[in-house]
Structure 1
Amino acid sequence: MSAVSTSVTALTLGGLDKLPGHARRCVFWEIDPAVAADSYSFSDPVFEKEAWLSTVLLEWGSCGQVALVDGQSAGCALYSPPSASPRAGLFPTSPVSPDAVLLTTLRAESPYQDADIAQQLIQAVVGDLMRRGVRAIEAFGIRKEPPSNSMADRALGSMRLMERISTPPRGTDGCTPDACMIEADFLEDVGFKVVAAHNRFPRLRLELDSDHLWKEDVERALDQLLAEAAMTQPNRVLCF
Structure 2
Amino acid sequence: MIVLCGKKLEFDVEPTVINGRTMLPVRTIFEALGLGVGWDESTGTIIGTKDGLVITLQIDNKEAKVNDKAMMLDVPATVIDNRTVVPARFVAEATGADVDWDGSTRTFYIDTTIESNLNVFGGNVKNVEIKSVKSNIFSENDIESAINTVIAYFKAEFSGCTLTEIVYAGDDKQEFAYLASQYNADEVIVLVSSFDVDSSGGDGSLTPNSTYSDWKWILVRDRGGQWKHFDHGY
Same fold (TM over 0.5): no
Q: Pick the structure with greater CA Rg.
A: 1
Q: Which has the higher contact order (CA 8 A, sep 6+)?
A: 1
| Structure with the larger strand share | 2
| Structure with the larger helix share | 1
Q: How does the TM-score come out when normalised to structure 2? A: 0.24
